[in-house]
Amino acid sequence: MKGIVLAGGTGSRLFPLTKITNKHLLPIYDRPMIYYPIQTLVDAGIRDIMIVTGGRNSGDFLRLLANGKEFGLKHINYTYQEGEGGIADALGLAEHFADGQKICVVLGDNIIEHDIREAAEKFQAQEAGAHILLKEVQDAERFGVAEVAGGRVVGIEEKPKRPKSNLAVTGVYMYDATVFDKIRTLVPSHRGELEITDVNNAYIEEGTMTFSYLQGWWTDAGTFESLLRAANLVAQSVIAKQSAVRV
């Protein structure tokens, strides 16, 4: 399985921090934001990784990450998203990289506490379809919200005013090769973007969507509040591990 980190966008919700840099290069405690999704893929056993980025500062990713040696990688692939076409549009740019294989996609501003290796292995054993990770949250209206019934995801609603559950769809998605065919059928939403929720609902409609519950904490880092929360959560985790080593 190949890994894809989506790190494009303008980061407008974090302006003026993003006036001179890409959102995914901002610090989360002691490391740049982009390090965390890459490490998520590496910890899941994925070594073939592509970064999808965009904007005026895309070259900074190459200067920062180079060939991925810091993560134990021999090579990192890069591609460029022009404009603001949405998550699904960015993912569509990685079709040539996926080359018919299954993929694990991580949004560049998603930070998680534990690894996703178990979920990745579960999807690898799955013949076809998709796999998402869900997490109970208190502010479900900020996310894509999954409705689960009979042990299956029966629908996902994007940022609903009245969520049908408190199960947020985290920014970790696993897809088979048909994902790119599904992306080609999408039409832009009212935001003018190709929505990843529409991709997920296409898998749900064909009955091939499975899911796991994400263990440990999870947060995005796309707003000032969540950026601070992510830094605090990572700091607490790092300090706790250092204390455990000293003991």
Length of the chain counted residue by residue: 247
Residue ranges in the chain whose pLDDT is less than 50:
none
Our CA dihedral for 77, 83, 87, 93, rounded to 10 degrees, sits at -40
Predicted confidence at residue 47, as pLDDT, reads 97
Predicted confidence at residue 231, as pLDDT, reads 98
For residue 204, what are the contacts with CB-CB under 8 A and spacing of at least 6?
153, 154, 155, 156
**pLDDT tens digits, 120-163:** 999 999 999 999 999 999 989 999 999 999 999 999 999 999 99
Predicted confidence at residue 247, as pLDDT, reads 60
In angstroms, the CA 167 to CA 175 distance is 20
Q: Which of 245, 220, 215 is closest to 231 using CA atoms?
A: 220
Question: For residue 215, is it left (φ>0), alpha (ψ between -120 and 50) or beta?
Answer: beta
pTM listed for this prediction: 0.95
